[in-house]
Structure 1
Amino acid sequence: MQNSNYSTKTATLYYIYDPMCSWCYAFRPIWREVQQQLPRQLQVTTVLGGLAPDTEEPMPLAMQHKVRANWQQIIQTVPATIFNFDFWTQCQPRRSTYPACRAVLAAEAQQLNAGSKMLEAIQNAYYQQARNPSETSTLLALATELALDSARFACDLQSPEIQNQLEQNLDLADQLGVSSFPSLILHNQQGLNRIQHSYLDAKAILNQLG
């Protein structure tokens, strides 16, 4: 879980996502724009939702077709989004995103804001470079490319502490009532409020935040 702090905090905006969620990847430019214009009284807390648990099993063909169809739908909905479909022939897909989630946490454990850099590296590797973030070897390579301490990263990636952090994130996502990604939840004096997100218009989101 990562926090972006503002000077006077009277409310919290939760952003719940998964590093290997294709719609989260498509949302990245708008989310960056939203963050740059948020009201100062808001604290932002990012939460790893955990799209798919650990498995060594290949992704079933039906699921592969479904995910590829999602990519095609995203291209129609958010035309600027780039996908490298070579992934489906060059990699062995697995329905497993928890390793990528732990990689974000392990990067942040080393260095402030390294988690967000790891997130972007994972998304670029997966969607643009046809590399598989379900594989530990890919995540270790990304850590090296980000100039992190690779030995520490490899250890942290498998550590009970990082696993515990992931479980805390998953529990919080459940408490917020989130089952799809990306999701935005505003917690203020009125309680929890779901913010409708747009993939094309930052103002449509900002107007709901006051």
Structure 2
Amino acid sequence: MKNKIYYVMDTMCGWCYGFSDVITKIHEKHKDKYDFEIIPGGMWVGDEVKEMDTSLGEYIKTNNIRVEALTSVHFGKAFNKNVLGGGNRVLDSLPGAKAMVLFQKLNRDMSFDFLKKMQEAFFVNGQDMNDITVYTKIAESFGISKGDFEEIFLSQELSEETFECFRKGQKLGVQSFPTVILEKGNKRTIIAQGYSSFEELDKILLRE
């Protein structure tokens, strides 16, 4: 049985977007040796759902400057205008988390590619991630029919499964996003918390 890597993240987390190229390359290089599972963390759900205002927009912009300085990603003009521009956009992690859980059920091998498409939709194109058509269009680009995706996406069962993923992340001891956890037998080790370079993470996995 392969050892396992858990990637705990949130689709609305700027640092997770900054880490996207790194974790995608790690998955591509090491997927034959390790089983990978993406676990949505639920950063903004329930009482933590945010409605964008000027203060929150400025805070996120300041944080994103640090993300861009350390990583290779850039936040799009549409994101800064549509999402951070104070237009009362609701920031809710649940729809993106549900889409991530669902896609892994349908096409696990392409999960990291699907995640990157979702992050681009939000952080580059500034799309409204509460709109189900954002997810169905991405799913269709992977050959999944709109009807099949929508039916499961809107089900109570998927919502329950997604909240179970949030609890799983907590049980794994995750306190911030992104976090990468290596599981070998009964032992779990956090090998990255926050941003790490490809070289740093690759070196750890090559040692194992």
Taking structure 1 as the reference length, the TM-score comes to 0.81
Q: Unpaired runs of 5+ in structure 2?
A: none
Q: Which moved more, 1:139-148 or 1:176-185?
A: 139-148
Superposed CA deviations along residues 94-138 of structure 1, whole A, max 9, x for unmatched, are: 221110111122334444445434322211111121212233343
In structure 2, what is the equivalent of residue 142 of structure 1? 138
* SS in structure 1 at match of 2:45: coil
The 3-state SS of whatever aligns with 2:115 is: helix
Q: What is the root-mean-square deviation in Å for CA atoms of aligned residues?
A: 2.7
Question: Could you tell me the TM-score, scaled by structure 2's length?
Answer: 0.81
> 1:137–1:34: structure 2 CA closer, same or farther, 3 Å change rule?
closer
Give the distance between the partners of 2:30 and 2:138, measured in 1 at CA: 30
Counterpart check, 1:131 vs 2:127: yes
The verdict on how the C-alpha distance between 1:164 and 1:200 changes in structure 2, with shifts beyond 3 A counting, is closer
Greater helix fraction, Structure 1 or Structure 2: 2
Q: 1:50 aligns with which of 33, 36, 42?
A: 42
Q: Deviations over 1:120-177 (max 9, x none)?
A: 2211111121212233343344334444211222222221121122122111101101
User: What SS is found at the alignment partner of 2:114?
Assistant: helix
Alignment size in residue pairs: 201
What residue number does 1:67 align with? 60
2:174 to 172, 178, 181: 178
After the TM superposition, which segments of 4 or more aligned residues of structure 1 sit over 6 Å from their partners?
Answer: none
Cα distance in 2 for partners of 1:126, 1:190 equals: 37
Q: Please give the per-residue CA displacement for 1:165-210, whole angstroms capped at 9, x wherever unaligned.
A: 2122111101101021110112225722111358463231133232
Unaligned runs of 5+ residues in structure 1 are 1-7
Write the mapping of 1:1-210 to structure 2, written as runs, cut at 5 A. 8-9=1-2, 11-38=3-30, 41-53=33-45, 58-78=51-71, 80-91=72-83, 92=87, 93-113=89-109, 115-189=111-185, 191-196=187-192, 199=195, 201-209=197-205, 210=207
**What letter is aligned with 1:20?**
M
State, as a whole percentage, how many aligned pairs show the same letter.
Answer: 18
